[in-house]
Structure formats: C-alpha cells, structure tokens
Amino acid sequence: MKRITLILLTCIVSISFAQEDKEQLLALKKANGFVYEGNSLINDDDFVSGEMAYRQAISKQPNTVAGIYNLGNAYYKKGNFEEALYRHEQAAKATSSKSEKHKAYHNIGNILMQNKKCKEAVEAFKNALRNDPTDNETRYNLGVAKICAEEQKDQEDQNKDDKNKDENKDDKDKKENKDKKDKEGDDKEEDKKDKGDEEKKEGDDEKDDKGKPKDEKEDKGKGDEDKKKEQQKPKPQPGQMSPQQIKNLLEAMNNQEQKVQEKMNAVKEKGAKIKTEKDW
C-alpha cells in the first residue's frame, strides 16, 4: 500500500515539473519572438515600437538577457544613458554567461565614460576583461578611462588647492579688515580723547584762578573801571554847594534883583511907596 502511494506521488511531481517546463519553454519562445521583433523595429529606426517589443519580451521572461541587453543598447543609441545603464547592470546580474557578462560590463564602461564618470568606468572595463581577457577593444577603452580618471583626479586636487587658497585668502582678508577696523576704532578713540583733552584745556584757560569764566572777569573789570571813574568825578562836600548850584543861585538872584528894579521903576512912575519888608 505504501509502495503504491509513493509511486503515485512520484508520478504527480513528474507531471508537475513537466508542466512547468512546458510553460517556461513557451514563455521563453514568446520572449524570444518579441526580442526578434524588437531587433527588426530598432533596425528600421522605429524606437518606440522596438522598445515596446523588448518590454513585452521581459514581461514574458523577466530574466531574458537578450531582451534586457538589447533594450539597454536601444536606450544608449537614443542618448538615454541613465536608462541604458540600468538595463545593462540588470543584464550583467541576470546572466551567468561570461560572454554575456563581458558585453554588459563593456557597455556599462562606455556609458560611464559618456557621463564623465571615468573612475567608475575603469572598474567596469576591468570587470569586462575578467570575463574576457582577450578583448583588445575593452583593453583599449580601459587605458583611455585610466587617463581620464587621472586627469579628473588632478583637476579635483587643483580645485581643492584653489579652494583652500581662496579660503585662506578670505580668512586673511577678514583678519586684515578686522585689524584695520580695530585700528580705526583705536584711532577714533585716541582722537576723541585728544579732542576732549583740548576742550578741557580750553575750558581751563577761559577760567580764572577762582574758576569764574574769563568774560565775567572782564565784565567785572569794566565795572571796576566805571566805578573808579565815577569816584573820580567831583562830588559836593557836606555844607558846600556845587558849581552848578552856585550858578543857578546867581541866576535866581539876578532875576529877583531885576524884578525888584522893575517894581521900583514902576513906583517912581506912579509916585506910590513900595514896601520892602514883610508884614508881621
């Protein structure tokens, strides 16, 4: 009974593997058909239709190296290096064939050179030669990539040196500007201090020993002079009359005498007696 069960299981597994193999073969056949179709369309410069055919081949057989590789070449011819690089890297991983790996890495190196990535291209061409050391074209491309990588390294070093020089120059300029500003600040402080000393000195010169302004001293001097002149003017002494008072008194007396004389003359003319004394 156990032997019959084992035989039945073996038959079922065999049939299952056979069915899977049949489906894989059918998918591979369809994938190859789309690859041939894509090749023909690309040769006729029908990129859009050719791209669709290659994509259909990959959908039928995801690991079909021919479809992936040829699609990468189609992108390369159209100048779409980013997509071409992706497809060739995919092809290099999908295949175990040294010949196919060599072709994929060779194309990867060419794409990297187009993108000015010379250092990475050197490694790609080395991988290509590891899978086919006899390919002189790959060897030549490797030499070109090495020269390009060295030139890029020298340029990077030069740019780095220039950048360091510029940074050092900027730091030097900043330091010089800072020193200049500090010096200008010190000079301004010194000038301000000198100016303050001069103003203080001028203020001190304008003050006398008692700290009073010079103008006040001069005014006081003028007042003293006026007072001195006033004191020098003749002043009436007690019990004495000034010359002006004497002059006024004489004029008054003369006027009074004249009036008296006029009255006397009038009396003589009228014959009347005139009193010369006051009544009691």
Give a yes or no: residue 218 inside a domain.
no
Give a yes or no: residue 233 inside a domain.
no
Work out how many domains the chain is built from and give that number: 1
Give a yes or no: residue 11 inside a domain.
yes
**In this predicted model, what pLDDT tens digit does every residue of 242-258 receive, in sequence order?**
677 667 767 777 776 67
How many CB atoms sit inside 10 A of residue 2's CB?
6
**In this predicted model, what pLDDT tens digit does every residue of 200-227 receive, in sequence order?**
665 555 555 454 444 444 444 555 665 6
Mean pLDDT within 43-53: 93
Give a yes or no: residue 224 inside a domain.
no
pLDDT at 132: 95
3-state secondary structure of 207: strand
pLDDT band at 10 (very low <50, low <70, confident <90, very high): very low
- The answer to whether 66 touches 98, Cβ cutoff 8 Å, is no
Q: Which residues pair with 207 in a beta bridge?
A: 213
- The answer to whether 109 touches 124, Cβ cutoff 8 Å, is yes
Q: Please provide the distance, in angstroms rounded to a whole number, between the alpha carbons at the two ends of the chain.
A: 200
- CATH number for the domain including 111? 1.25.40.10
H-type helices in 44-64, by residue range? 47-60
Comparing 181 with 43, which gets the higher pLDDT?
43
pTM: 0.54
Domain that holds residue 37: 7-158
Give a yes or no: residue 89 inside a domain.
yes
Give a yes or no: residue 67 inside a domain.
yes
Comparing 44 with 17, which gets the higher pLDDT?
44
Element (H, E) at 10: helix 2-43
How many CB atoms sit inside 10 A of residue 58's CB?
19
Radius of gyration of the chain (CA): 66
Mean pLDDT within 180-186: 74
pLDDT at 200: 62
> Which of 156-165, 195-204, 229-238, 243-252 shows the lowest mean pLDDT across its residues?
229-238
Give a yes or no: residue 91 inside a domain.
yes
**Residue the block writes with tokens 């890029």:** 152
Instruction: Give rounded-to-5 percent helix, strand, coil for the chain.
Output: 85, 0, 15
Across the chain, where does the E strand assignment appear? none
Give a yes or no: residue 266 inside a domain.
no
> Which of 190-204, 221-235, 237-251 shows the lowest mean pLDDT across its residues?
221-235
Q: Which of 159, 96, 165, 155 is nearest to 131 (CA)?
A: 96
- The answer to whether 145 touches 122, Cβ cutoff 8 Å, is yes
pLDDT at 98 > cutoff 50: yes
pLDDT at 136: 95
**Chain center to CA of 270:** 128
**Chain center to CA of 240:** 99
